[in-house]
Structure 1
Amino acid sequence: LTGNMGRKGGNYNAESMLGLDTSLGGLEKRGDQIILSAAGADPRFAQWREDGFTDEMILYEYMHEAFARGDIMPTSLMYYIHGGLLEQSEKYNSWDPYLKRPVGEYVREAFARGWQFMVPGPDKEPRVLFAMGGNFLKRARSTNTLLQHFLPKLRLMVTIDWRWSSTALYSDIVLPACSWYERHSLFVMGMPAAPFVHLIDRASQPLYGSKSEWEMFVLLARKMEERAGERGMISYVDGKGVERRIGGLEEKITFGGLYAEDDEEGLARDAFLNASNVEPMDWEEFKERGIAHFTGVGTGMRSIGAACDIEPGQPVIPLTWHTEKKQPYPTLTRRIQFYLDQELFMELGEHLPVHKDPPRAGGDYPLQISGGHARWSIHTAWIDDSLLMQLQRGEPVAFMSLEDARAREVQDGDTVELFNDVGSFRIQAIVSPAVRPGQVIIYHAWENYQFEEWQHFKSVMASPLNPVELAGDYFHIRPITMSNYPGFSDRGTRVEARRVAG
């Protein structure tokens, strides 16, 4: 409406990404290969084109179908259903005065009507979890609730990590991964502010028994084939009821032996050379430079939504395909759409943009938690490093206002207990005039084991569900990667604070 889209300095920027649009045998296909395959094999393709579908819309159709098949799963719904968060939300339904029905009723309706999907479904319990590339028992909200309800359902939890994270410490098996510069790899996700693919090159050999994830995967596949043969197992039925053969598993993963377990450089090399949206150069030149500029968003599902051309050396300006080339937006109306006449949006009064006061998540308490990213760590990677901890107070801290501290007889450096209906934890208080009354600031990244009795500050974060996040069956409001399914919230969690004596 105001002309702020599709021009320099005027765009909205959220979690925007640029992905390497590449292909590696059966592991990954470029977006243009998917479109070409659809044109030749999918009977719906001609009708989609007749209906004005762009490549972006067609790719989103396939992504949505991947959710429906259970190939991709939103972890938030797994935690709500299998981790006890839904029961917690139902117990405290009064937190959100805007709800028209119990929150559990919305969730059950979303599954019954095929708006949302989850594996395993609500009628089956998770049994085995592989945790890699994350630290969910530190990251997920309502930590204690997950520990009480989710972990007991698992028969086996395996974590792949290069350090003893909170999740690793709760795991049955930890597979030690080598760190970034003990392997060959690519950092393939760029952003419009830094539109580059980065080389991750091996500077030293992996320490001790640590291995790259690629080597782990190949060795695990080999061992699974071996053990299956010893037990006389030829096939198995997966969670979706499909019978799959175990024989040849390693052969499939390595593309017929093209990439051995110690050849992650070959894997990274071919991923780079097969990409369609990065400046062309040979592998040795890329290794020398260490960086290559994106030349387009490609037709990969991760970044096609940026909808723009990229010129190296110039700012990336999203949405110019719509504003300049007049391509339709991937919405129901083919325009930027504010009015949403989907059932849940209508029921909850959010069919047009509207302000609602945040729910009293955690209970009716006077203080609200906010925060940001840690200053001395990249997420949890260095949060317990002894040298970096000397730059701060060496333990988790919460910033309180002068007014709130005086009212509770809290001095700078005191230990305080923050609590609400969900849980409690203890933390050192920093009293600061820069904090407004009613606010408590806690920066992220602290590990569970850095708190007394491992009571993490996310233990109090109720993360209530807004039912509009369950909406579906409305063209552009259907679950796809990183969009259109419930997320977690922590800002605005209500707590009270009291000084801990001694």
Structure 2
Amino acid sequence: SLAPDMGVTSFYSDYVLPIAHHYERHDLMLQSRIPYLQVLSEAVPPLGESVDDWEANKRLAAAISKRAKERGIAPIKDAVDGRTVRRDYTKTLELYTMGGRVNNSKDVAQFIINSSHGIPKISFDELSVKGIVKVNGVNNTMWDTEESPFHSEIARSVMKKHPYETITGRQQFYIDHEWFIEFGEVLPTYKPPLSIKGYPLRMMMGHARHGVHSMWRDDSLLLSLQRGEPDIYVNPDDAIDRRVVDGDMIRIFNSAGEFFAMAHVSSGIQPGMLFMYHGWDPKMFKNEKNFGEVIATAGLIKPTSMAGDYGHLGYRPLAFAPNQTYKDFTCDFEKSV
């Protein structure tokens, strides 16, 4: 794994390459929710032997090319998304660096600036001084003009009256795809979530408030702004029924498994419901088992998400992520002994 810390991914890896953290690298940040291009310049040098992701992959590419030449490995045919491609491992480094034109992460950032539509043409060094610049065509919204680096087909259809990317070219709710017909979902349809018999509480989850996904969830400063360890929100009435008070360690369980967390009693949680922010590293839980232990449906995929060849419905590998029935389960909790 290429990781900035010894998190759970690293513990599952045979080899761990130390990667520079967020403020130890040069990079760009461009997000369609904000009309700015922001620089990420190296505030402090990387610790120890760590390097940024691009440099680590460059070194791997160099090693692959060197070894392929030494062994005289000829080009091979491979398949990607149904397309046949030719792979010459002796040229891995040459391809990765674009023939030597790109040699570090600053070069990559400059290439993105120079070649991307809607981004002001500015040097990375100048951008590092300014810190942030406004992208083109976004005086009022992110989708103002053709000069914007972002485009939304829906916004274009509404504002410029282009046909929608549906099979009818119009706003469409009725879908007569054979799979939708089979599942009784030709129109937006409510279907009650799955439940596990004997376990009355439905558990929901949300994005972490004191971190980004799993990053910084174990940071001491951010932990000081919260309970300092994995906690789960429970309704006061549900807590009373189970003789649990705020701060107790509780066992959350169902027929699939169990995990332990601190009870966070809150009247903001409805009766019959549990709520937990995600992103906690399994190492922070008792026995290194987190909420995934009770999610019996985490690997299931909704079949209609795989439908294709129907206007806007078109599953493509690496371009569309089918919805998972992630919260279709129930559980219960009790005070940990």
TM-score by length of 2: 0.87
Q: Shift of the alpha carbon at 1:296?
A: 4.9
Do the aligned partners of residues 431 and 277 (structure 1) sit closer, same or farther apart at CA in structure 2, a change above 3 Å counting?
Answer: same
The one of 228, 240, 255 equivalent to 2:98 is 255
CA distance in 2 between counterparts of 1:440 and 1:222 reads 50
The one of 451, 462, 480 equivalent to 2:285 is 451
Do the aligned partners of residues 212 and 284 (structure 1) sit closer, same or farther apart at CA in structure 2, a change above 3 Å counting?
Answer: closer
SS in 2 for 1:251: helix
Do the aligned partners of residues 481 and 324 (structure 1) sit closer, same or farther apart at CA in structure 2, a change above 3 Å counting?
Answer: farther
CA distance in 1 between counterparts of 2:200 and 2:174 reads 35
Taking the TM superposition and a 5 Å limit, the aligned residue runs for 1:336-485 are 336-360=171-195, 362-461=196-295, 462-463=297-298, 464-480=300-316, 485=321
CA distance in 2 between counterparts of 1:282 and 1:220 reads 28
Q: Is 416-425 or 437-446 further displaced after alignment?
A: 416-425
Do the aligned partners of residues 317 and 234 (structure 1) sit closer, same or farther apart at CA in structure 2, a change above 3 Å counting?
Answer: closer
CA distance in 1 between counterparts of 2:136 and 2:90 reads 41
Which structure carries more helix by proportion?
1
Please say if residues 342 and 474 of structure 1, whose CA atoms lie closer than 8 Å, have aligned partners that are also in contact: yes
Do the aligned partners of residues 341 and 483 (structure 1) sit closer, same or farther apart at CA in structure 2, a change above 3 Å counting?
Answer: farther
Q: Shift of the alpha carbon at 1:273?
A: 2.0
SS in 2 for 1:442: strand
CA distance in 1 between counterparts of 2:318 and 2:172 reads 19
Provide the residue aligned with 2:166 in structure 1.
331
Provide the residue aligned with 2:64 in structure 1.
224
Encode CA deviations 1:48-106: one digit per residue, 9 max, x unaligned. xxxxxxxxxxxxxxxxxxxxxxxxxxxxxxxxxxxxxxxxxxxxxxxxxxxxxxxxxxx
CA distance in 2 between counterparts of 1:173 and 1:325 reads 52
CA distance in 2 between counterparts of 1:226 and 1:284 reads 33
Higher relative contact order (CA 8 A, sep 6+): 1
CA distance in 2 between counterparts of 1:428 and 1:408 reads 14
Q: Which amino acid aligns with 2:326?
A: D
The one of 22, 39, 44 equivalent to 1:199 is 39
Which ranges in structure 1 are unaligned for 5 or more consecutive residues? 1-158, 298-305
CA distance in 2 between counterparts of 1:448 and 1:223 reads 34
Do the aligned partners of residues 310 and 181 (structure 1) sit closer, same or farther apart at CA in structure 2, a change above 3 Å counting?
Answer: farther
CA RMSD of aligned residues (A): 2.6
Aligned residues: 327
Q: Which amino acid aligns with 2:108?
A: L
Encode CA deviations 1:241-289: one digit per residue, 9 max, x unaligned. 75522222211211211122xx321221121122221234444432322
CA distance in 1 between counterparts of 2:184 and 2:23 reads 51
Encode CA deviations 1:370-396: one digit per residue, 9 max, x unaligned. 132222222222211223323322211
Q: Shift of the alpha carbon at 1:346?
A: 0.8
CA distance in 1 between counterparts of 2:245 and 2:22 reads 42
Which structure carries more strand by proportion?
2
CA distance in 1 between counterparts of 2:155 and 2:290 reads 44
Provide the residue aligned with 1:60 in structure 2.
none
CA distance in 2 between counterparts of 1:269 and 1:483 reads 26
Calculate percent identity across the aligned residue pairs.
33
The one of 20, 45, 55 equivalent to 1:178 is 20
Q: Shift of the alpha carbon at 1:431?
A: 2.0
TM-score by length of 1: 0.60
The one of 313, 323, 326 equivalent to 1:487 is 323
